[in-house]
Amino acid sequence: MDTGPKLQGGFDVEWPRGRLELSRRVYVMGIVNVTPDSFSDGGSYPTVRSAVDAALRMLDEGADIVDVGGESTRPGAEPVPAGEEIARVLPVVEGIRAKSSAPISVDTRKAAVARACLAAGADIVNDVSALRHDPEMGTVCAAAGSPVILMHMKGEPRTMQLAPSYSDLLGEVRAFLEEAVARAGRMGIPRERTIVDPGIGFGKTAEHNLALLNRLGELAPIGRPLAVGASRKSFIGHVLGLPVGERLEGTLAVTALAVARGARLVRVHDVKANVRAVRMAEAVLAA
């Protein structure tokens, strides 16, 4: 569905093998976590085949991108050695690429993981540390010509939810993301290949997350497309008093509102329902 120029913002992102037409429509990214301990779907895909099948099913349901991750970044999570992370994600990337030409994102903070997956056919690097965790990550992404998603996170996964505080929430997140785009540029990644993510749930209270979502439009001056990953997260459970398995409706509400506030990419677990919410929100905005 082409909703045309009436949608808020948006920028196309290109790389040698593909293009995200974010100026034309909102993209949906399906989450494939091959981890035993992710907050929502840890252990859901115990074999390579089950993970690949899940990714292909998400693409059939309308996902534009699948995002494969092998290290949990939930609050309190412990880091995973690069070798173990590669062993988890690389066969899945290879399996998806063998059966689909759709864009594949790899959710990692480690250059070695990104390098292996990009060589195997992944296209995008989704780095929750915004290139700060591994000094080689920028070099790897620049050499591959891959787009990179740069996320705001206060602290690191193991410690980020220990009493996070801000004197100016939106101002601090915006300044961080502006510097992340500049950092990527210094590493050889042109700003045209960057996407920014305010980091819902990463070093933020429930109230911080709600305020960020309500004021997403204030991040527009960064001049880069916005990605939002709020699917099933704890702030939804906080508001609705629901466990992680019952947060679909809350997620759909957040997805639609994020699109209305200017998100150009949403990262979700329940692809079919979220694709429908995105397309409906786009239709209203374009009317």
* Residue 215 Cα to chain centre, angstroms: 19
> What distance in Å separates the CA atoms of residue 196 and residue 222, rounded to the nearest whole number?
9
Q: Which of 174, 232, 264, 267 is catalytic?
A: 267
Q: How far apart are CA 252 and CA 286, in angstroms?
A: 19
Q: Give yes or no: 99 in active site.
A: no
Catalytic site residue 233?
Answer: yes
Of 193, 204, 233, 261, the catalytic one is 233
Say if residues 219 and 8 touch (Cβ distance below 8 Å): no
Question: Helices (DSSP H) in the chain: which residue ranges?
Answer: 48-60, 82-99, 111-119, 137-144, 169-186, 206-214, 234-240, 248-260, 271-286
Instruction: Give the CA distances from residue 70 to residues 9, 81, 93, 216, 259, in Å, rounded to whole numbers and listed in that order.
Output: 32, 10, 11, 29, 28
Residue from 75, 67, 114 nearest 199 by CA: 75
Terminal Cα-to-Cα distance of the chain (whole angstroms): 13
Question: Are 195 and 225 spatial neighbours (Cβ–Cβ below 8 Å)?
Answer: yes
Which DSSP letter does residue 10 get?
-
The residues, any chain, with a CB within 8 Å of residue 85's CB and separated by 6 or more, are 70, 71, 108, 110, 113
How far is it, in rounded angstroms, from Cα 228 to Cα 150? Answer: 11
- For residues 203-232, one letter each, b for 16 or more C-beta atoms within 10 angstroms of the residue's C-beta and e for the rest, the string is bbbeebbbebbeebebbeebebbbbbbbbb
Residues annotated catalytic, as ranges: 233, 267
